[in-house]
Structure 1
Amino acid sequence: MATNNFKAFANTNSANVTSQAEYEALAALLSGFQSGKASSAQINKVLRQSSTMAYVLAQFISDSASVDVLDNGSPATILANFKAGLTALTPGRLLNIQIFVVNGQYAPTPGTKKIIVEAISGGGGSRSGSTANGQTGGSTPGYHGQYCKSLFELSAIGTPLTVTVGSGGTPNNYGGATYFGPYMSLGGGNPADGTLSTSGAGVAGSAYHRTGAQNDSTGKVLANSSGTSLSSPIIQVTAGTACGFSAPNSPFPGGFRGRGADGVYASAGVSYTGATGIDGMVVVWEYA
C-alpha cells in the first residue's frame, strides 16, 4: 500500500480545538493573529483545518496514482503525481492531437494509454506526354494514396518511434509510402495510367481502379482503403472537348491529403509535363 506522509493534526472528537461557531466569529480569521497570545484551541483549529485538507489531497494522490506521497521537500513530484492521479480517474479523455505533415518522431503525451492513428500515403503523379499536330489530349490523374485509421494500446508499441510521411509523387512516379514506426505501412499511390492524343472520341488508359497496394496495420483497424486506389479516365468526345482530368478525392477526411495529381490537358502539337501528387499525413489522437 502506498505511503502518505501528510497527516491530519488534532483529528479526534476530543481534540483541544475551538468550536466551528467560535472559529467563524474569530476576528483573527480575517486579519490573522496580530498581538498577544492565541489560545491553544484556536491554534489547533487552524492547524487541523489546513492539515486535514493536506491529508485528504495527499491521500487522493496516493490512492488514484498508486504512489507514495512523501514530505521530503519535493513539491514538483507531488504535483506530477497529482496530475497523474487526475488522469487515472478520467479514462478515455482526449489528451492531445499530434499532427505530422513531414517526417518526425512520435513521443506520447504523459498519461496516454490509447492512440488512434489516422494516416495516408502520398498521391501518385500524372503523366507527361505530347500531342501530335491536329490532335488534342492529355494525361489521366494519379491515384490516391493508401488510407488507414487504427486503434493501438500504447503499452503494445514502443515509443518514441519514427513517423514517415509519404510525399506526393512527381510526374510519372509513385507517391511516397507512409509509416508509423513498424506498426503501420501504407504504399504510395500509383502514377497515372497513360495519356491520350486523338482527333476523335477515346478514353485514356484501361484502368481507374487498382488493387493490391500495401496497407498494413498491427492495430485494431477502424477504417482503411483496403489496398485499392482510384483515378479518373479521360473521356474525349471530340478534339478539344474532354473531361476527367481532375483527380478524385482521397479517402483521408477532407479528401485533399494523399490525393493523386490532376491530369494535364494539352492542345495540339505540344509537349507537356505531368503534375505532382499531394503529400500524405499522419494524425495521432491520444487518449487517457
Structure 2
Amino acid sequence: MSFSRFVALGDSFTEGVGDVDPDRPNGVRGWADRVAEVLAAGSDDFRYANLAIRGRKLRPILAEQLEPAIALEPDLVTIYAGANDIMRPSVDIDGLLVDYDAAVGRLAATGARVVLFTAFDPGGFPIFGTMRGRFATYNELVREIAEKHGTTLVDYWRMREYRDPGMWAEDRMHMSSAGHQRMAMAVLDAIGVDHELVELDLPPAPQLSKAERRAANLDWAKAHAAPWVKRRLTGKSSGDALDPRYPTLGPVSPAASRSPGRARRTS
C-alpha cells in the first residue's frame, strides 16, 4: 500500500504528548509523525497534516477538525476521539458515539482509508481502572462503527504490551516514546505498509520498597494527577492555548527520522 496525503485527527494521543522532542511544534513527536516518516520514505510527493490538540473532547474534535481534514482531500485519515469525555465525572457514551458514527461515515465517504482506534484497557491502573466499564462500552461501539463503515481498526485494548510501565510517560497518562513507536508499528501493520521499525529500548523496571512506592505515587499525584483533576473541575484544558502542530499538508523532513532501536529491556 502507498499513500500520499495523510491527515491525523484527535487529542493528545495523536498530537504526540509523551514523546518529547523540543525541535518539533508543541515540543512533541508522536506515533503519527513516525508513521508519516515511513510513508514519506516511500513516496516523492507525500504530504502530512496533524490537526490533533491535547485535551480536546470528542465533539470539539469533530467541530474543529473534521471539515478542515476533509478539505485537505487525504487518502489516509486517522482519528481517535472520546477518551477525554470518558474520564469526565459524567458522560453519555451512546450519544457521543452517534456523533462519532456520523463523522466517520463522512470521512469514509471521501474514499480515504480511515483508521480508528479502540481505547486502552485501564484495568489494574490506579484511578483510571475504575472507569474500565466505560472504556469497554466505548470500545464496543467503536468496533461497531468500524465494521459499519469498512474502516481499519487498531485495537489498542488488546495490546497487552502496554501493561509495561516503560510504555508510559512520567505522567502515567500518555504513551512514552517507546509507546508511540509501538503504536506507529501497529498503524503501519494495520494499513499494510512495510516498515523497518522495531520496538524501542525500555528503561529498567524500578525495584521499589513499599515505602518508596508510596512516596513515588504521592509525588505523581501532586505533579500530575492533581493538576489533571483541577483542569477537569474548572473546565480548562492543557491544549487551550495551542494550535494544531501541522494544520496544512506539507512535506516530512528527512531530518526528522530517527534510528529505530532494538526491542529489549535495558538493565
- Determine if the TM-score, normalized by the shorter chain, exceeds 0.5: no
Greater radius of gyration (CA): 1
- Give the structure with the larger helix fraction: 2
TM-score (normalizing by structure 2)? 0.28
- Give the structure with the larger strand fraction: 1
TM-score (normalizing by structure 1)? 0.26
